[in-house]
Amino acid sequence: MFKTIARVLMGILFMLAGLNHFRSPQMYRAIMPPYLPWPDALVALSGAAELGLGALALVPQWRRQAGWGLIALLVAVFPANLHMALHSDHYPQIPAWLLWCRLPLQVLLIAWVRWCTTAED
């Protein structure tokens, strides 16, 4: 029961995060590292991936694949989080310590996704 609740919460949080990419795309564009091309397309693509994979994680027959997709997405956005931590002066509205705390949080999110999307309940 606990794992089911955690899975539903995880799916909803990823879906809400994905929707937020379309609600506030300027926020995500602002944190996009300058070395990445097509920031608007990447913001939309990552939002669609979060939204779709978060929903698929709630469907038993797609749960495992959605989990691996979410893990890949979390790995893919890690360079942006690292860029923000290394260049905290570009993001004065966010405390530098918080930017550094986000890095290990990615590992915890990956572990949470993996646990929530394994077949056994």
Task: Examine the pLDDT at 36 and tell me if it is beyond 60.
Answer: yes
pTM: 0.89
Confidence of residue 121 (pLDDT cuts 50, 70, 90): low
Gap between the Cα atoms of 77 and 80, Å rounded? 5
Q: Phi first, then psi: give them for residue 75, nearest 5 degrees.
A: -65, -40
Per residue in 76-97, pLDDT (tens digit) is 999 889 999 999 999 898 999 9
Domain boundaries, the chain: 2-116
CA 110-23-39 angle, to 5 degrees, is 70
